[in-house]
């Protein structure tokens, strides 16, 4: 299920042609429905952060903000 964090293009390439896998995901989602939503809400938040990370690093000279902070302390 963590494949949902991938870019849409890659996720479709991996899961798109496999109907049995898609059916398994659907059944799993239904079987653990109260918890599935909670966990995947957090995964989607991480996905958004990862999607924005290259933009942040490009704006800060290719280094993440936390990495800049650590380098400044050394």
| Spatial separation of the C-alpha atoms in residues 63 and 44, rounded to whole Å | 23
* pLDDT above 70 (res 1): no
Q: In which domain, by residue range, is 49 found? A: 2-73
* pLDDT above 70 (res 27): yes
* pLDDT above 80 (res 24): yes
Contact 15, 3 (CB under 8 A): yes
* pLDDT above 80 (res 57): no
Q: How far is CA 15 from the centre of its chain?
A: 15
CA torsion 45-7-12-20 (nearest 10°) is -40
Domain count within the chain = 1
Task: State the pTM of this model.
Answer: 0.45
């Amino acid at each position: 299920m963590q494949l949902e964090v991938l870019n849409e293009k890659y996720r479709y390439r991996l899961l798109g042609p496999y109907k049995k896998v898609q059916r398994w995901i659907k059944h799993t989602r239904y079987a653990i429905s109260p918890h599935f939503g909670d966990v995947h809400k957090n995964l989607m938040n991480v996905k958004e952060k990862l999607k924005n990370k290259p933009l942040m690093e490009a704006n800060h000279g290719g280094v993440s903000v936390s990495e800049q902070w650590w380098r400044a302390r050394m």
